[in-house]
Amino acid sequence: MGDEEHITRRDLLRRGAIGGLALGAVGAVGGALLAACGSSSTGATATTWTSPSTTAPPDTGGARWWLEGNYGPVKVETTATELAVTGSLPPGLTGLYVRNGSNPLQGVSPHWFLGDGMVHGVRLEAGTASWYRNRWVRTGLYDHGGGLGATGAPGGTATLSNVSVVGHGGATLSLGEVGIPYALDTADLSTVGPMAAYGGTNGNMTAHPKTDPATGNLHSFGYGFSEPFLEYRVHDASGALLSNQPVALPRSVMMHDFAITEHDVVFMDFPVVFDLAGATRMVTDPSSEAVPYRWTPSVGARLGVMPLGGPTSAIRWVEIEPCYVYHTINAVRQGGSVVLDVCRLDSTFAPATLPSASTRHRWRLDTSGTHLRFADEVVDVPPADLPTIDARSRGTTWRHAWLGELASHPGAVSFTGCQHIDMATGRLDRWQPGAGRTSGEWLFVPGGPGEGEGWVMAFVHDAATDRSSLVVLDALQVSAGPVAEVHLPVRVPYGFHAAFVTD
């Protein structure tokens, strides 16, 4: 379970190719992702290598798609050094790209969202890629054998910690749907330990906290399974807790994300309710594929707006049509209204169905009257989710957004490439990695003073080679294709959210 495998580029040269895959076919349909010597920053050739411990599980038709193909977990922790690079990594791109995801310790889980957290990182240094590592997050659940059935009710240190990575107060935090963050050591991705100060009184913190760029304050919430069902918190730039306030909710709901502006907080009370019977079956019979949430549109859906920082007693709600939002894009106050862009689904956790296609909507909340008024505009672009913006524009007027484009398959979905939306011109710029290659979230990393000046990056998996690479695109010219690709000797399973941690 904790075995480490260390691979250098010289090891690859010694082990040789399996199947005779030639190098240098970068960009060709089904071609190998490792680079020819002429375009590699390391100036040497290499061959592909197949490890049984990292090979994708077979596709059995989608019955348990989250355990198959490149959704399936890897079984070992790997360290690889002297990574080959195609193209040229920008010299100013120095730091650690690290992405979180679900990787069940025991190899099985009842849902894609419910595997133990594993982080995958690539260290970039002044035009080179010095290492790749993957490490399980050593949570309280991991220490008890992994999975939600390992201890009692989730929360506190009983967290999967598998959703996102956030830097705050000098720490790099691994975050899950519920539970407290765990700090990571960016030198080697080892787990430092739990960070209880972020968990409030209910021991839970969202995986999508928002940093106010004007103050450095971190705004977050934690939902729980008993009252108070929701707590809203503010930490200052050093990580010190400034406030922790309950938000009145009638029931426990899965609240994955929220939004802030310079003056407001927007909460989303949507009809994915805590299901005690499902939670019990999940623990007592892991093979049942039961989950602790249930789509219940009869309870309604609403949006709440309150002042940034509180008090939570000032929150005002407006009813909307039942739907679900895993991810907001950004929000801004415009006069008497709050404008919020979201990736909207018709439903999720509905019986025997996958989530509906995620489409981009612009919601306008008019706060000028006694009662909130709501307007919904559909933005007609190809389905996409896992949005990223330039975080320097969080809560203010923004122009650029990047999303992972979605493609549906029988029994599963995949992210095929990158969308860049210029909201000033309405222009949609897209990059598709090619047949058999799929990506995920595209993380924006600043590279200049202006909004959108920089790069977006993501892990891209090639089904033909069963290997992954870290692809770097110019954020304002994504259709031009990769500026650089860092080639990994292993695959990186599909996952969720990333961060770029600088020195």
DSSP assignment letter at 9: H
Q: What are the backbone dihedrals phi and psi of residue 227, each rounded to the nearest 5 degrees, phi first? A: -70, 145
Instruction: Give pTM, 2 decimals.
Output: 0.88
Look-up: residue for tokens 């390992």? Answer: 150
Does pLDDT of 320 surpass 50?
Answer: yes
**Residue 4: per-residue pLDDT:** 47
Percent of the chain beyond pLDDT 90?
Answer: 72
pLDDT tens per residue, range 99-156: 999 999 999 988 899 999 999 999 999 899 999 999 999 999 999 898 876 665 688 9
**Side chain identity, residue 465:** T
DSSP assignment letter at 314: G
pLDDT tens per residue, range 329-360: 999 999 999 999 999 999 998 865 555 678 99
Give the range among 53-62, 83-92, 130-139, 237-246 with minimum mean pLDDT: 53-62
Q: What are the backbone dihedrals phi and psi of residue 119, each rounded to the nearest 5 degrees, phi first? A: -100, 145
Structure tokens at 290: 């039961």
Kindly state the average pLDDT of the residues 476-500.
97
Look-up: residue for tokens 């008993």? Answer: 226
Look-up: residue for tokens 């190899």? Answer: 107
Residues of 152-170 as b/e, b for ≥16 C-beta within 10 angstroms?
eebbbbbbbbbbbbbbbbe
Distance CA 350, CA 66 (A): 17
DSSP assignment letter at 441: -
Name which of 97, 191, 206 is nearest 140 in CA terms. Answer: 191
**Residue 361: per-residue pLDDT:** 96
**Residue 151: per-residue pLDDT:** 60
Across the chain, what does the average pLDDT equal? 86
Distance CA 438, CA 435 (A): 8
**Residue 129: per-residue pLDDT:** 97
pLDDT tens per residue, range 58-75: 665 567 888 999 999 999
CB 3 within 8 A of CB 76: yes
Does an H or E element contain 402, and which?
Answer: strand 400-409
pLDDT tens per residue, range 410-454: 566 788 899 999 999 999 999 999 999 999 999 999 999 999 999
**Residue 286: per-residue pLDDT:** 64
pLDDT tens per residue, range 246-295: 999 999 999 999 999 999 999 999 999 988 777 777 777 766 777 888 89
Q: Provide the sign of the torsion angle of the four alpha carbons 108, 114, 116, 118, taken in this order.
A: positive
Go through the chain and tell me how many residues it has. Answer: 503
Does pLDDT of 236 surpass 70?
Answer: yes
Residue ranges of domains in the chain: 208-379
**Residue 287: per-residue pLDDT:** 66
Residue 500 forms beta bridges with which residues?
Answer: 97
Structure tokens at 486: 């860092």
When pLDDT is cut at 50, 70 and 90, the band that residue 233 belongs to is: very high
